[in-house]
Amino acid sequence: HPRKVKKWLAELKRANMGDFTRQIYNGLMQLNRQSMPPKYRLENLEQLREPVRHIFNQLHKHFINRTLPLPEKSLKIITLNQAVLNEIATGYKILIFEAANDLNKIDNKILLIACERALHYYAEYLLKASQIYSHIPNGLWWDIHRIFAYAESKKLHSKKIKDSEHSLKSVCVEDYYKLILLFSLSRPNALRQSDTERVFMAMPEWIKYTKLSSHPEANQLNQYFCAKLDSDMPPHYLSN
């Protein structure tokens, strides 16, 4: 129950970051493996966003601007960072999965938040992977494409919602999807760590100059990039 989660979070001590991170991660895993009403799941996940962000802020310094290859301790920390990111994204993805398969009655408000938050954390996962020049796990692009496709099918992709962790404060699913596509097309693995983050942070301003379309005009092919919604592949440049 969200009240119990709130009480549990309030009792956690943040002085020992290792123990705090372990408990938050284990708590996320347990929540994601339990059945509960969609309203409770969303409320629990929303409560966990602030402590999870605190963890990311603390872990960040252990692998950014470090000489590569990273030492074993730093590799363990980035692995933990990515595991927490994946777990909280999975929590929101469960809500989308339940709605798409009629396993639970989920209203559009909850579904919209779940789609935006899942893409939010997947975008951050891609950023962190790029900063350490790591590969992208199988299935990640499939999830990104399918979440956007499902939101679009429900006509939720362009509805704005508030996200305190986004620089624009108000954002839609399509904005996050375009951000992810543009970031991937910027070839972040070829950039320095500091440049990668600067490019990522600039994306909210760039997305307003782009649009999504399934019908490119023949005389404008050099202005288009291609993303296949039924694939596990990143976007690609079009070639004649």
Q: Which of 230, 224, 196, 197 is nearest to 210 (CA)?
A: 224
Q: Which pLDDT score, from 0 to 100, does residue 61 have?
A: 77
Q: Which pLDDT score, from 0 to 100, does residue 48 have?
A: 97
Strands 225-226 and 236-237: antiparallel
Tokens 């252990």 belong to 62
One-letter-per-residue 3-state SS of 158-222: CCCEECCCCCCCEECHHHHHHHHHHHHHCCHHHCCHHHHHHHHHHHHHHHHHCCCCCCCCHHHHH
Residue type, 155: K
Question: Which residues of the chain fall short of a pLDDT of 50?
Answer: none
> What is the torsion angle, in degrees rounded to the nearest 10, for the CA atoms of residue 60, residue 62, residue 64 and residue 66?
170
> What is the torsion angle, in degrees rounded to the nearest 10, for the CA atoms of residue 127, residue 91, residue 73 and residue 70?
-20
Q: Which pLDDT score, from 0 to 100, does residue 213 have?
A: 87
Q: Which pLDDT score, from 0 to 100, does residue 240 have?
A: 55
Q: Which pLDDT score, from 0 to 100, does residue 75 have?
A: 82
Q: Which pLDDT score, from 0 to 100, does residue 239 have?
A: 64
115: Cα separation from own chain's centroid: 10
Q: Which pLDDT score, from 0 to 100, does residue 78 have?
A: 85
> How is residue 116 written in tokens?
């935006």
